[in-house]
Structure formats: structure tokens, C-alpha cells
Structure 1
């Protein structure tokens, strides 16, 4: 089993159809892509001396060479280590060293940082800059054969974002990638060769995984020239490419739904906006639905079970007449076709509908373990189930609602408080653009809640009394934050997720909570 066979099949069936586009320009047909990746595979083994199972990392922004390198790695029987190019060089060095990477493929923007790691990372032999003379030399190699791989062989080392401690490398096998792709067809979207996917988010993580089913079906992979999310550019690309889907983190969805160039664009070629990777607040989702219509599909997953746990379908988003429509919009949907999902207590006993516990999942899409981390693997996969660390509850209809990561739970005065429901309440205030709620040590209550608020552009910061009122309209009195802090932006990692660890660390470092006009203090 080797997913690089998809290229060869598409090259036979539709050799002249566009396969990779850079903006509106066709970079490669399927014949081109298959030929280039085959030559690169031959060069990786012949010129660079790599053997089956060796690791090759990709450190570059989204560009055509990224996809060519990725499928060349698989064709050559090697293991891909996609690394977010926005990481700090020390973080990149850790991933390369931990994975035992032998070769890195990078671009000119990151060449200096990556090349400096040769001699520092013991396993790293060489760096290939694409495009460049070494890249051209690999392309000139005789085509390498597609190396047979077993379903259980590693294909992709998916490194977590490392918000708590060093990142771990989820070992994704060829079976995992195939199951994730088939589940996409079953639960998210049927895809045809007339469709396209816009790769605006990093290919190293979720966006790259969602791209695989599109490649399998012969759809066009479109890489924005800007390298990011630009409303005017996306509007132009919608005029060029049909059946376009894209993955967007919730922060990206919020930006897109307020971008005047996109809001006023012809959206008839927009097929699906896949969102996930963080909480999508109800107010933001309802606004986006008003702009784009019911073209949204939510995916809940983790790197350990590549983006495949539950899904909220486009039909669910569109079913406005359902009496629990808003509650469903706040959920992450129902279990995907290829997995079993449970909510359990601390002893891993199943909980009834409505009770909150940890989310567990098992199925052929779940990783076999973490790379070179047997203890972490045993802990995560105990009892044969992936323990996600996410906290949620099923409703009577089987829809799962996430409350928080288990580490984000705040226990104040003996009461469990899930920050997400507090954040949802605060976001109803029109002067609140973004919010993150976390706990701090409190000698009286054990922990107390602090809300970090980003005021809406052009608005006066809301008063603590106004924020208290917004909470009291929707949640119990004891769940109100004891303290409100105002920021210009929330700390995020390279995938746009809010890093609450930084906020918690800041609170712990303070000798005393601030007592000024930006704070409101009261008991739980």
C-alpha cells in the first residue's frame, strides 16, 4: 500500500488535466507531477543514498515543490516529516533530531536557518533547496520505482504543536492516511476531478491531510501566491477554479467572513469550507453562515487520529428548522464512519448522555503510537482507545459537544468550570472581538477565573460590569471571571490556536492579581 500510486493512476487517466496550480497559473499537469515525483524519488535513493524507512523532512511554505517532494518521499519508500516552516529554528532542530531526519527539503526563505543545523542535528546529512541546483539535480535522476509499503508502515510523522512541553511525533501509517481519506468521502464531501482545494493553511498539518482525498480523486491543488489568507486573492481564484474547498481554522473563518473583497465576491464556485482545530464560537459561525451560506463542514480530530473523530455536516449547518439547531452548531457533530467514540469517567467507564467526561476514540485511522516514545504511547492508547485529553458530552441524539481540553478545566470552590462556555457568553457582548478564559491559583477558592479580552476594533473596552452582565444572561453566577484583562491580541501558535499556557504562566508569575480599573473582582 503506497498512496503515491494515486499520482500514477491520475497521470494515466487524465494526463493533461491541471494537478497543481500556483494561483491562477497551472504549475503541473498530472503527467508532470507524477513524472517529477518519480524522478525525485530516484534521486533521493540513488544520489542521496536513502533507504526504505529513512526520514525526510519538508520545511517550506506552501508551494508546488512541497507537494512534489511529499509524494516523492512516499514513492521512494521513505517517511515524510512535514514541519511548519513558521517554527523557531530551535523547534525545527528538535523535530529533525527527534525524528532522526536524514535529509531536509526546504525553500530559499528558510534555507539559511535549516542549513545551519547540519552538524548540529546528528542524523541530518544534507539540505536540498527547492528550487535550486540540488533540486534540479534530483529531478534529472532516472525515475525511481514505487516501493511497496505495508499498511502498518509509517508514512507521515505528525508533530504536535507543542503547547505543553516538547512536541510528540504521531506516527501515521499508510493505513491511517487511506482511512482518513476514505472517511472524508463518506462523511464530508464526494469529490470529483472537476473540483479543487485551496491550500491557504500550512500543508504540514490539517490542510495537508485534507488535501489527500482531493489528490486521490484527481482534483486540483491550488496554492495561493500570497502564501496565506487574502480575501481579494481568494475571490480571484474562485473565478478561476471550480468546486473549490478550503480548510480554515476558526480564526481564519472569522477573517474571511468580514473581508469586504470576499463578502462581495461571486461565491458560486465555493464548494466547502472545512473548519476545525479550535473552538468555533456560535456568534462567529452564525455570521459566517449568513455570508457564505451552508457551505460549512466541521471536522473534529487530532494528529493522532488524523482529523477524524466526529463531523458536523453541511446538512446539519443548513437544518435551521431543527428545534436544537443552535445547540448542534455548538457541537462537533457525530462520530465519523470509521471510528467508535466514547465519553468516559476517570475509570474509563462510559457516561450517559449529558454527562461530561474525556473523549476516547478507536479505529483503523488512529495512530499506532508516538515516534520513539513508548511510555507516552502506552498512556495515550491504554485499553486500546486513544485518550484525547478533550472533555465533552454526547446529547441524546449522539452529537458531541466539546467543553475544553482536560488541562483547561478550572475547579473553583469545588465547582468544575469549563472556560469555553464562559468565552461563549462573553463573545455575545458587541465590544468583545476575542476572549480566552483560564484559571489562576487562588488561596480562597483553589482557582479563580481570569478573562483576557480583545476589544472589537473601534470600540471602547467594555466595563467589568457590562461583562458580568453578559455572563449572567447565559451562565451561572459562580462561573463569572473574577478578573478581566484587556489585550490587543491573544497569544497564538503557528496554526492560529490560542496558547492558554502563556496566559496561565503569566498569571502564575504575578505575585498578586492586578487591582486597577481594568479588573473586576468578586467571589465565585
Structure 2
């Protein structure tokens, strides 16, 4: 599907830009088709063959997309590795998780890694003619592959929030199904968008075929920063913009935010973890746009639930909406694996054609995740009486305080509304009496006038039970983030363990 999409869009959209580099130079759809053909032939002459797993150790760039497309045209399997990971973590993904047959890497990303496989080195382009220049065989193309929906195309690594990342496998048919579900999703078909995640993420690996199928122009951003995104959205009159909640919050706090023209923006789309209600409210007002919250995971192909743009405020602010067409969602008891009644917390499970084929080279983990035809996400949540899904965190994120289980997300949703809070994350701290108590890690709206613990608890008790509220306060100017730009709860929890040990 991916290879065929490149060929079809090359003819259908021809001179329209498919990719725009950060420096402003462009690659058209017809050029992308030709480039991927020429690079595919060059890679084949370097030994890359059908069915091989090729680790792609290349920063998010025009070159990354070209190499991903070229490998698909050869029938090779792309295992993209984020440039934000340190060398030891990259090595684990390449050697142990993917078991790659060879790698394509820039010198910078190969540095510090001892790989016992063939490494094809590439240099990043600085103009259209230099894209994968040393690999291209001019004016040649590979023999088109026969249709095969079961052909693995991509191995996409999970974020590793519960341990060593796993490789979710996506076939040609699954990518085609993702495209069917994702087309017309409000991103502005055929319009320009920015790449807000690393290209190794499911948001690109799984969805760029769908985007290119409708002529979307992808503005490439390697290392995400608010200035680059705001500038691109304003300059190129983008109809939609997206990211995870911390990215939206950083854009809203950009000192020059009000100098940009966002009159073209009709929709703000967020994914990843649920967005704080105050961020949703502020973004809707300042961008002058509708908002939709998406929830999914890598294993689900990045497709799951969403909130309607005209949903009631309760749904928009406190839920992740309803299943998208073609997707089924159930909340199940993690022990009995039976569906639980509405209003009961359990494990969120998906059934859909966009779910991964399995974890690469890991049948045990695959059998655990895909039990009974359902994808078990490891996320905990409950279905409310309107049919909306409400998340309370990852399995294991709830902590025991005395005789109660406390889910940090519940307190975060409330405390985010406090006028002195710009950002909040609640994590447990070991306690000799209660077992664990909550700590509110807060970014103050005004560092000169931060909230006190008493103020936060008094505010919170108006909305949720006192035992769910944090009993300690830690002020910070920024949260540690994972390579996927999510708040790194593990780092914050370790910090609180160290604090408890000092006491």
C-alpha cells in the first residue's frame, strides 16, 4: 500500500509539494516517486532485499521519508529509530528488539553504537538534488512487487513506558486500513501539516501513507520547537495543527504567540495522554479553532477514540471521546479479562483492522497483548453514562494510599484549572504510614507567585475526595519528557523516592 501510494500520488498530485524541509526547499510528489525508485535500486545493489529488517537510524528529515518509501518498494521492513534516544538505547532496539539484518544510518546516529551488521551510511540533504545522493541510481526503478496484504512493512517501537520497548509490526493491509479510517479526519485533506513527532513514531510511520494518498504536504521538523511550528502554521496557512498536550501548552506560552496570524486554523488536534482542561480552553480561545482529543497507542496503529468538535464541554474537557468508525472499545477486568459494567475502572481494549499484526520476534508478548481478538492496551479507564471513555492512567500508575487506590490523572484534571498552575503532574512518594502519598509537581503560571499546597488542596476538595489530592508540593520550571514528548513520570517518581529517602 505504501509503495503503491507513492506511485499513485506521484501521478495524481505531480508538482504539488509532498515534503518541505525546515530550510524551505521542497520535494514534489512526482519527485518523491522518482527518488524512492532510484534509492530503492541503489539499496538493492548494496544488498538490501525483500523481507530484510533494516534499521533506519536517520533523523526526522526528507531523507527519512525517501528511505522509508524506497525500502517499501523493495519489500524490506523498516524499523525506524528515534534520534532522540541515546546510543545505548538505540543499540538495544536495533540488535535485541528488531534483530535488524542491516542498518541505514547517518554518521552522528551510528556514533557510539557497535553494530555487527552492515551499515549503509547516508548524509542528510540540504537541497532537493542531494537527497540520498550517494545511493541513487539515476533514472532506474525497481520491479513493482506483487500485491501482498500480509507483507510486513514497518516495525514501530513502543515508548517503553512499562519496560524495554517492543516492536509493533504493521503489514501492507494494516497500513491500508489505517488510511481508510484516518482519511477525512479533520487534518485538512490535501493541505499542509507539520510533523510534530519523530518520524519513527506511529504518527508518521503509520499515517504518512494516508496523508500522501490525499495529497497532504508534510512540513518536516526534526527537533520540535514551538517557534518552528507556529511559524509554519502561520506562514503556510495551515487549516489544522496538532501535537501532544505539552507541545500545545508550550506554543500558548510562546512570547510572540499573539504576533502570529492563525486565522487559517480551524482545528487543533491532540493525541498521546489526555490534555489538561485548562490547555483545551485556552487553545480554543487563542487559536480561535475547534478542538479534538485523540486517544490511541502505537499498537492500535494510532487510531482509537476521539471527541467531536461540537461535543458538550464535559465530554471535551474530561474524556477522550468515543470510538472512531470501525473501532470497537471495551473496558475489561485485567484479571478475569471480562468486560466490566459502565462506570467501573478496568483495562482499555481495542478491536479494529488498524491494530498491529503483533510484536516483532516476540510471540509471548504478542499473545499477552492480543488476547481473544482484542488489543489490551495497559491503559486504565472507564466508560461513562454517555458512552465516552475516561482515562485514569497506565496500569500500575494508580498507587495505594491507606485503603484507597488513587489515580493521579483525577487530581491532575482538577488542579490544572487552578489559576496559579501552568502545568501539573501528580506522582506517588513512599510513606511509612500510608504506603504512598501524592506529590503535585507543578509548573507555576507565575514563578514569583506560585501556589501553596494548602491552596491546591482547598481548590481540589471542591471537586474530588480529599484522599485523592496530593499531600506534598514540588515546584519546577519544566517537566522531564520522554522521546515521544510525553511527561516522564518514571523520572519524577524516582525523584520522589529519593526525596523520601532523605527524610
TM-score by length of 2: 0.92
CA contact (8 A) 1:245 1:274 kept: yes
SS in 2 for 1:314: coil
Identify the residue that residue 220 of structure 1 maps to in structure 2: 217
Aligned to 1:334: 322
Q: Is the 1:23–1:237 contact (alpha carbons within 8 Å) kept by the matching residues of 2?
A: no
SS of residue in 2 equivalent to 1:461 = coil
Q: Is the 8 A contact 2:187 2:240 kept in 1?
A: no
CA shift digits 1:78-100 (9 cap, x unpaired): 11111110110111111111212
Alignment map for 1:25-104 (pairs within 5 Å): 25-45=24-44, 47-98=45-96, 99-104=98-103
Residue aligned with 1:429, SS:
coil
Q: Which residue of 2 aligns with 1:520?
A: none
Please name the residue that 1:245 is paired with: 240
Quick check: 8-17 or 505-514, which moved more?
505-514
Residues in 1 aligned to 2:415 and 2:217: alpha-carbon distance in whole angstroms: 41
What is the correspondence of 1:296-307 to structure 2 with a 5 Å cutoff?
296-307=291-302
Contact 2:400/2:435 (8 A) holds in 1: yes
Q: Aligned runs of 1:361-510 on 2, under 5 Å?
A: 361-509=350-498
Correspondence for 1:310 among 305, 308, 313:
305
CA offset at residue 240 of structure 1? Answer: 4.6
1:19 to 2:18 alignment:
yes
The gaps in structure 2 that reach 5 residues or longer are none
Tell me what 2:104 maps to: 105
Report the Cα offset of residue 288 of structure 1: 0.6
1:519 maps to what in 2?
Answer: none
How far apart are the structure 1 equivalents of 2:251 and 2:2?
33
Which piece of structure 1 moves more, 233-242 or 307-316?
233-242
Q: CA RMSD in A?
A: 2.4
In structure 1, C-alpha distance between the alignment counterparts of 2:425 and 2:362, rounded to whole Å = 32
The one of 107, 121, 124 aligned to 1:130: 124
Deviation at 1:28, TM superposition (A): 1.3
Q: CA deviation at 1:260?
A: 4.6
CA shift in 2, pair 1:342/1:220, >3 Å: same
Picking from 160, 181, 186, the partner of 1:183 is 181
Q: Are residue 347 (structure 1) and residue 336 (structure 2) matched?
A: yes
Distance in 2, Cα, partners of 1:381 & 1:243:
38
3-state DSSP of counterpart to 1:177: helix
Deviation at 1:509, TM superposition (A): 4.3
Change (3 A) 1:432 1:192: closer
TM-superposed CA distance for 1:334, in Å, is 0.4
- For 1:244 and 1:105, the matched residues in 2 are separated by 35
Please give the alpha-carbon distance, in whole angstroms, between the structure 2 residues aligned to 1:327 and 1:12. Answer: 42
Judge conservation of contact 1:70–1:80 (CA < 8 Å) in 2: yes
Question: Which is further off, 259-268 or 498-507?
Answer: 259-268
> Does residue 121 of structure 1 match 2:115?
yes
Deviates more, 1:238-247 or 1:410-419: 238-247
Q: In structure 1, the residue corresponding to 2:301 is in which secondary structure?
A: strand
2:78 is paired with a residue whose SS is strand
CA contact (8 A) 2:63 2:131 kept: no
Q: Give 1:372 shift.
A: 1.2
CA distance in 1, matches of 2:266, 2:63: 26
Task: Give me the TM-score of the superposition, normalised by structure 1.
Answer: 0.88
Give the direction of change, closer, same or farther, for the CA distance of 1:217–1:125 in structure 2 (3 Å limit). Answer: same
* Post-superposition offset of 1:234: 4.0
Count how many residue pairs are aligned between Structure 1 and Structure 2. Answer: 496
Distance 1:386 1:59, change over 3 A: same
- Contact kept, 8 Å, 2:351 with 2:375, in 1: the verdict is yes
Partner of 1:287: 282
The correspondence for 1:275, drawn from 270, 276, 297, is 270
The separation in 1 between residues aligned to 2:108 and 2:466, in whole angstroms, is 54
Moved more, 97-106 or 374-383: 97-106
Distance 2:208 2:193 in 1: 7
Q: Does 1:261 align with 2:256?
A: yes
Check the 8 A contact 1:353/1:396 in 2, yes or no: yes
- Answer yes or no: is the 8 Å Cα contact 2:54–2:77 preserved in 1: yes
Deviations 1:476-498 (A, max 9, x none): 11122222222332221122211
- Structure 1 portions without partners, runs of 5+: 317-321, 515-524
Q: Deviations over 1:188-220 (max 9, x none)?
A: 227543x11211332221441443322111121
Q: Are the equivalent residues in 2 in contact too, given 1:24–1:237 (CA < 8 A)? A: no
